[in-house]
A = this chain, B = another copy of it.
């Protein structure tokens, strides 16, 4: 049993059914405040941090705006400016906060090292980079491109996560560890996808146009995988760690290796469970693939 379970046993990770988005967010936000309150009491050295980032705020989007503004600011892009920008953008589109809620639940459910929602909100660079990306993407779609690119650059500097503001990303996304993730301009990512660190969704050269991967729903992409070009990774596919993928991968199949091949072969690829992006099963294909090698 992971350590965190002991700390916050009462929480329910999946949102109860039949809730409106607002109710769902309110329940989660209350849980986050409860966690932060408990941690602040147990650890006075951290209380100031928990109050400034969570407990002094009236909503998840205000907390996120504050936290991102302070994380991403620099001497030439002030925290007040960024805070304002995040606040206003979150206010302009409720989907942004709903996606953050889904991402928090994704991390809490899928990552056994995630001990609480507040842990993810405060500390997961993948979560934070993704929320900053959503705001940058919103700015991009509003033709505020220089501002979107400045934000993109700050996220790349601060979190070492480089997501082009034009990239389209679904919700329920887990960027686990996240360092070194690179996602190109015309990439598209579905819902409930899990992407490990050092993953590249890259282009194929200097030609402009649609040139980056399209990732289906429920896909799991292992650490260090490189997917290049306008290829399609089907719903529920699994890409092994360190793989280099240059062509399409069918739904619910597993591709591994450099260059990647389908487990089970191209003709008879082995199908697996529906949603590896949620089950996070990285290695069940080991027996077929690598065991005989070492």
Contact = CB atoms under 8 A, between A and B. Distances in A.
Interface in A247-294: 247-249, 255-262, 266, 278-284, 286, 289-294
Interface in A56-80: 56, 66-67, 69-71, 73-80
Contacts of A226: 222-224, 241-242
Contacts of A284: 205
A16 interface: no
Given A113-B184, A146-B46, A177-B162, A294 B248 contact: yes
B153 A125 contact: yes
A24 interface: no
- Give the interface size bracket for A toward B: 35 or more
A111 B206 contact: yes
B147 A46 contact: yes
Contact of A150 (B69, B123, B149, B260): B123
Nearest to A82: B80
A228 B1 CA distance: 19
A76 B47 contact: no
B76 A78 contact: yes
Contacts of A124: 153
Name, among A84, A246, A286, the residue most crowded by chain B CB atoms within 10 Å (CB to CB): A246
A113 B229 contact: no
A55 B202 CA distance: 33
Name, among A45, A53, A111, A292, the residue most crowded by chain B CB atoms within 10 Å (CB to CB): A45
Contacts of A119: 146, 149
Copies of this chain in its oligomeric complex:
6
A12 B187 CA distance: 28
A122 B261 contact: no
A43 to B, nearest CB: 5
Contacts of A77: 49
Contact of A48 (B2, B56, B197): B56
Given A2-B208, A70-B76, A71-B157, 20 more contacts: A4-B145, A5-B208, A43-B144, A46-B146, A48-B49, A53-B76, A70-B74, A70-B75, A111-B206, A113-B203, A119-B149, A125-B153, A125-B157, A160-B179, A198-B198, A198-B200, A228-B241, A229-B282, A229-B286, A247-B294
